[in-house]
């Protein structure tokens, strides 16, 4: 530990701390725009300036290491003026249409302009003119709002291992985007949206599809069915100022009913169905020398990453469709037949924490009934907007349940939304199927936690099953490289495209860098899902009575011919 003096007070900090980290620990909110801990520490925005005794110039605190006896001043006139000047310079080349911006009230630039007391911009001049990139099915990029902080570039490269966006041109003409001015759809972007949730301003957002849903709801000929992903319930409350980690499952169901959906179903039901199909697929592969390791296939960002960057592993992917696609397919086949509704008149809306699901829903191969399994995907953020547009007072809604039959789910399915959850849910079922005995403990702590890669070995009958779990495509890459080189061997791997799993998906509510400093928002959302699991009476997928019913009435058994036709898919090399 070393001692530094910040604004007249001594503070003990570990030797590897930056001045920014030390100041924040001292309870001082230094403004930052480009800073993302461990990901983008570049000192580009020059807002975190501080005065250091003995130094002539002001220093960017985010890249300045602390040293013994350092004397730091964070609130002098010189510091305040310099920060204000730098912010004005950023604002002078920014499209300041705040009232119509997607990030109005959720913008880190807007908040800092207010906090630093900006009233005039002294340097109005020419602005960088670039067109908005709407080529992607998932993400819209507006360079007129970009402040060149580099957060998206670093996340795409360092966390996701994708690197399809970077700095282009020089000086005043510098912009961020794919090379040669290409659109995002023209490069190997995996649509994960991690660039979006890490953008401090409105330069990146999801492709909004709210109007398509209002149109369907207003069309009396359409039977409009909605489903919600596990992770949405752990974060939707943030859009309505609930503390991070508040579970709003019941209010969400109530809000969806008031928006006018004919049925409110739960993707969790299909997560249970996935466990049945994927669990038996794993057992088949283990028994019959099938392709191993088997790798989960729920995360469309990960699937696209695999198709582009690791096609040699495509045969390792489970052939299961992702749960929301399974549910869409079940709605337009089983549910349509049972209720005498023509699938062409059914409109399925999925509420997802994910931007890649927008791309996934458009994949032609996902159309078991002859029509797309899912018609429109909205993100958690978009659902928040719809609820506000409808004037629903979310805070005061009662808790309601999902609709029967496709709304019934278990604790196993809800943890799909956090890294390790699919693996744990699968183990709860596979272990009981293999041994024929009830598990004494159904929690598999080995696969819990937010580390990028987790490994475990679990005895299942005669074999010790070797497992690995990776979250973020960057970690998936590291894991797969080890497998390729023969340095590691597994039977079953879970991969989720986003760090932490779906709770931190590209469609989830924005969490500013400042809030992240004080709260582990990913862990809080994850814990909300574990709490919901614990609160459930039934916590294993194969014990879901509605899952048993759908096999009895329709699919026969897991991996049957019919199940394959409706619930499984293939991949593009
Ligand atoms: Fe996910 Fe999934 S868990 S992929 O993370 O398998 O998006 O939440 O809906 O489909 O169930 C996302 C979440 C989600 C699917 C399920
Ligand atoms: Fe990179 Fe993901 Fe953004 Fe595409 S969506 S640019 S892959 S971070």
- Give the pLDDT confidence score for residue 573 in this predicted structure: 66
Q: How far is it, in rounded angstroms, from Cα 555 to Cα 551? A: 5
Q: How many Å lie between the centroid of ligand 1 and the Cα of residue 416? A: 6
Query: Among the CATH numbers 1.20.1090.10, 3.30.70.20, 3.40.50.300, 3.30.70.360, which is that of 129-206?
Result: 3.30.70.20
Q: Is 500 in the pocket of ligand 1 (CB under 6 A)?
A: no
Q: What is the largest CA-CA distance in the chain?
A: 80
Which ligand neighbours the alpha carbon of 361 most closely?
1
Q: How far apart are CA 147 and CA 273, in angstroms?
A: 45
Q: Which pLDDT tens digit goes with each residue over 228-237?
A: 999 999 999 9
The CATH 3.40.50.1780 domain(s) of the chain lie at 211-567
Match 């890249």 to its residue by tokens. 63
**CA 104 to each of CA 252, 274, 344: distance values in angstroms, whole numbers, following the listed order:** 23, 38, 38
Does the reported pTM lie above 0.90? yes
- Cα Rg of the chain, angstroms: 25
**Is any ligand 2 atom within 6 A of the Cβ of residue 93?**
no
Q: Partners of 226 in the beta sheet?
A: 264, 349
Residue linked to tokens 């293999």 = 434
d(CA 223, CA 251): 22
Q: In what helix (H) or strand (E) does residue 351 lie, and over which residues does it extend?
A: strand 346-352
Helix (H, G, I), strand (E, B) or coil at 274: helix
Fold that domain 211-567 belongs to in CATH: Rossmann fold (3.40.50)
Active site residues: 278, 281, 298, 318, 357, 360, 365, 502
Residue whose CB lies within 8 A of the most ligand 2 atoms, among 36, 40, 162, 302, for a mutation test: 162
Residue ranges matching CATH 3.30.70.20 in the chain: 129-206
In angstroms, the CA 118 to CA 87 distance is 8
pLDDT at 48: 98
- The helix or strand, by DSSP H or E, that contains position 23, with its residue range, turns out to be helix 19-25
Nearest to 327 by CA among 264, 257, 252, 240: 264
Q: Spell out, as residue ranges, where the chain has pLDDT lower than 70.
A: 572-573
Segments of the chain assigned to CATH 3.10.20.740: 2-92
**136: Cβ below 6 Å to ligand 2?**
no
Cβ contact 167:150 at 8 Å: yes
User: What would the two tokens of residue 48 be?
Assistant: 């975190």
DSSP 8-state secondary structure symbol assigned to residue 334? I
| The two structure tokens encoding residue 391 | 């004037």
Tokens of 283: 């057992």
Q: Which atom of ligand 2 is nearest to the CA of 178?
A: 6
Ligand 1 centre distance from Cα of residue 209 (Å): 19
| Centroid of ligand 1 to alpha carbon of 393 (angstroms) | 27
Residue with tokens 């045969």: 315
Closest-CA residue, ligand 1 atom 5, reads 502
Over the range 178-207, which residues count as b (16 or more CB within 10 Å of their CB) and which as e? Answer: beeeeebbebebbbbbbbbbbbbbbbbbbb
Ligand 1 binding pocket includes 417 (Cβ within 6 Å):
yes
Query: What is the pairing mode between strands 49-52 and 71-73?
Result: antiparallel
Q: What pLDDT does 544 receive?
A: 97
Architecture of domain 2-92: Roll (3.10)
The pLDDT value given to residue 410? 97
CA 191 to ligand 2 center in whole angstroms: 5
Per-residue pLDDT reduced to its tens digit, 26-78: 999 999 999 999 999 999 999 999 999 999 999 999 999 999 999 999 999 99
Sign of CA dihedral 186, 187, 190, 192: negative
The residue behind tokens 């991949």 is 571
Give bridge partners of residue 71 from the DSSP assignment: 5
Nearest listed ligand to the Cα of residue 505 = 1
């Amino acid at each position: 530990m070393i001692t530094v003096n910040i604004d007249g007070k001594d503070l003990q900090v570990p030797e590897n701390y930056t001045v920014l980290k030390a100041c924040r620990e001292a309870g001082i909110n230094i403004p930052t725009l480009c800073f993302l801990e461990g990901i983008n520490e570049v000192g580009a925005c020059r807002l975190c300036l501080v005065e250091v005794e003995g130094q002539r110039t002001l220093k960017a605190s985010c890249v300045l290491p602390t040293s013994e006896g350092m004397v730091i001043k964070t609130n002098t006139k010189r510091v305040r003026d310099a920060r204000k000047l730098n912010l004005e310079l950023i604002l002078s080349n920014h499209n300041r249409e705040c009232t119509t911006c997607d990030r109005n009230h959720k913008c880190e630039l807007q908040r800092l302009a207010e906090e630093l007391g900006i009233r005039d911009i002294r340097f109005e001049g020419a602005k960088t003119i670039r067109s908005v990139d709407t080529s992607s099915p998932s993400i819209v990029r507006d360079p007129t709002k970009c402040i060149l902080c580099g957060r998206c570039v670093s996340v795409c490269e360092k966390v996701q291992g994708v690197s399809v966006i970077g700095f282009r041109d020089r000086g005043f003409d510098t912009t961020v985007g794919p090379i040669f001015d290409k659109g995002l759809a023209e490069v190997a972007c995996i649509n994960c949206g991690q660039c979006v949730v890490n953008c401090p301003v409105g330069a990146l957002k999801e492709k909004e599809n709210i109007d398509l849903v209002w149109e369907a709801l207003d069309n009396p000929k359409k039977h409009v069915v909605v489903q919600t992903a596990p992770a949405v319930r752990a974060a939707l409350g943030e859009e309505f100022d609930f503390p991070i980690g508040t579970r709003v499952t019941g209010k969400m169901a109530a809000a969806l009913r008031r928006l006018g959906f004919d049925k409110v179903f739960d993707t969790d039901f299909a997560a249970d169905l996935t466990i049945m199909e994927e669990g038996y697929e794993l057992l088949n592969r283990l028994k019959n020398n099938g392709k191993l390791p088997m790798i989960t296939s729920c995360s469309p960002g990960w699937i696209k990453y695999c198709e582009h960057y690791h096609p040699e592993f495509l045969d390792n992917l489970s052939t299961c469709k992702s749960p929301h696609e399974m549910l869409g397919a079940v709605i337009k086949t089983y549910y349509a037949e049972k209720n005498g509704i023509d699938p062409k008149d059914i409109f399925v809306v999925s509420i997802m924490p994910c931007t890649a699901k927008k791309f996934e829903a458009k994949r032609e191969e996902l159309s078991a009934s002859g029509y797309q399994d899912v018609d429109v995907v909205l993100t958690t953020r978009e659902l928040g907007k719809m609820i506000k547009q409808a004037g629903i007072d979310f805070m005061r809604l009662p808790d309601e349940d999902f609709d029967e039959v496709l709304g019934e789910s278990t604790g196993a399915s809800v943890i799909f939304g956090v890294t390790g959850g699919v693996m744990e849910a699968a183990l709860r079922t596979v272990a009981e199927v293999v041994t024929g005995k009830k598990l004494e403990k159904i929690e598999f702590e080995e696969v819990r936690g937010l580390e990028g890669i987790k490994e475990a070995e679990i005895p299942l009958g005669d074999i010790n099953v070797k497992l690995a779990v990776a979250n973020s495509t960057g970690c998936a890459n590291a894991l797969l490289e080890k497998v390729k080189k023969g340095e590691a061997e597994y039977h079953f791997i879970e991969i989720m495209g986003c760090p932490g799993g779906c709770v931190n998906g590209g469609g989830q509510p924005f969490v500013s860098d400042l809030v992240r400093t004080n709260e582990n928002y990913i862990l809080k959302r994850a814990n909300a899902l574990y709490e919901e699991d614990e609160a459930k009476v039934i916590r294993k997928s194969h014990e879901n009575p509605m899952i048993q019913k759908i096999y009895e009435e329709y699919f026969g058994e897991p991996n049957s011919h019919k199940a394959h036709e409706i619930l499984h898919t293939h991949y593009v090399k």
